[in-house]
Amino acid sequence: MPVADQLQRLIDKATAKRAVRGALAAIQSGNGEVDASAVGGFADAALTVPLTPGTPYYLASITKMYTAVVVMQLAREGTVDLAAPIGDYLPADLTGGLHVVDGTDRGPAITVEQLLFQTSGLADYFAGKQKGQPSLEDALYTGSDRALNIEDIAALARTLPPRFAPGAGGGRKAHYSDTNYAMLGAIVQAVTGDSVAAAFAQRIFGPLDLQGTFVFDHTQSRPVPAAMWHKDVALDIPLAMSSFPADGGIVATLGDSLRFLRGFFGGELLSESELGYMTGRWNRIFFPLQYGGGIMRFNLPRWMAPFKNPGELVGHSGSTGSFAFYSPQRDVYVAGTVNQSDRPNRPFGLMSAMLGLVK
């Protein structure tokens, strides 16, 4: 059976589950011999508009890979020093109080590299919660939409205790925190004098000709992304989605997601040494994921998938069920989404099955 037909069967199986109202997936080999996409289900909350391969969808935290590219390019140009404290680029009223332990404020001294590698110890403004209070993520999942600017994000982070000292364990201790990438976005704006969206357009979208990729902004007239779901709730949160340009705000199509992956790993955006820097050190965040510099590594142990072990996958996933990964062993790219945030492991099971289609 052709790979395209097998992939469609996987998507049909995924969308047969009640929780998944719509899914998109694409797989492409480096040599071009395998190039297939499949969709199933609906693009809208009313379940009346079918998904198509060209339907844009939220990348969510896959956005962090794009932000990391921009930061690395700025470092190459000498505009940003990865070893410098963020206080060199951001005002004290923004960095102050971000990381306070025993009366010592380490916020301004956190380095750009520590943000990039998730080793700053900063609390996660998005998923972190105070005792007895819902997290921002929980509130959004119940439909409580709100707009946030970088000052609001910093204020939320200050209400939460840091996880560890910046660079703890010789830089081997990591905690996945959206705050890190929100602050990287603020640095990009500070040093370029322009928006994160403009930096993406100039440095990534334009050079790779990503015509279906954009930073979500509810004030702009753009194609409507596929509906996101949390269990049985269709998430209508345009204000919030407009607030996360550097850590979760990009929208893209399947074709553009594959094109970005090829550009990312193929030397069009980063030099070999820059990519080596980002992937040369992996720190555990939560099983079975590790984190480098703006990029995840997924290496499922053989005992968990003895007959379909996908080997190492590098890329990123998002809380909306989105995924964009590359398999170096098989020279295969996979991208897509299940548009459902209820189970973070959903896209990883789908990816493993997709890679099993390629001999």
Task: Classify burial at 29, counting beta carbons within 10 Å of its beta carbon; exposed 0-12, middle 13-18, buried 19 or more.
Answer: middle
Residue 286 lies inside a defined structural domain of this protein: no
Establish if 262 belongs to a structural domain.
yes
What is the number of alpha carbons within 13 Å of residue 176 lying toward its C-beta? 22
Q: What is the CATH number of the domain that holds 238?
A: 3.40.710.10
Condensed to tens digits (0 to 9), the pLDDT of residues 262-290 reads 999 999 999 999 999 999 999 999 888 99
Q: Which of these three, 195, 220, 246, is where a domain ends?
A: 195
* Whether residues 209 and 254 fall in one domain: yes
294 inside domain = no
Statement to judge: residues 84 and 167 lie in one domain: yes
- Give tens-digit pLDDT for 166-192: 999 999 999 999 999 999 999 999 999
Does residue 145 sit in the same domain as residue 13? no
Give the model's pLDDT for residue 287.
80
- The chain-wide mean pLDDT, for the chain, equals 95
Domain contains 291? no
Q: Are residues 341 and 224 in the same domain?
A: yes
Q: Which residue, 152, 177, 195, sits at the end of a domain?
A: 195
Residues 24 and 145 occupy one common structural domain: no
Residue among 252, 261, 251 at smallest CA distance from 324:
261
The answer on 227 and 103 residing in a single domain is no
Which residue in 91, 130, 83 sits closest to 108, CA to CA?
Answer: 91
Of 170, 195, 220, the residue at which a domain comes to its end is: 195
Contacts of 93 (CB under 8 A, 6+ apart): none
Residues spanned by the domain of 125? 66-195
Is 38 in the same domain as 142? no
Same-domain check for residues 143 and 123: yes
Segment 226-248 mean pLDDT = 97
Work out how many domains the chain is built from and give that number.
2
Q: CA 264, CA 254: separation in Å to the nearest integer?
A: 15
How do the residues of the chain divide into helix, strand and coil, expressed in percent and rounded to 5?
35, 20, 45
Question: pTM (2 decimals)?
Answer: 0.97
The answer to whether residue 321 scores a pLDDT higher than 70 is yes
- What is the structure's pLDDT at 288? 83
Output the pLDDT for position 308. 60
State whether 46 and 123 are in the same domain.
no
Residues 190 and 249 in one domain: no
DSSP notation for 334-356: EEEE--B-S-TTHHHHHHHHHHT
Do 244 and 172 have their domain in common?
no
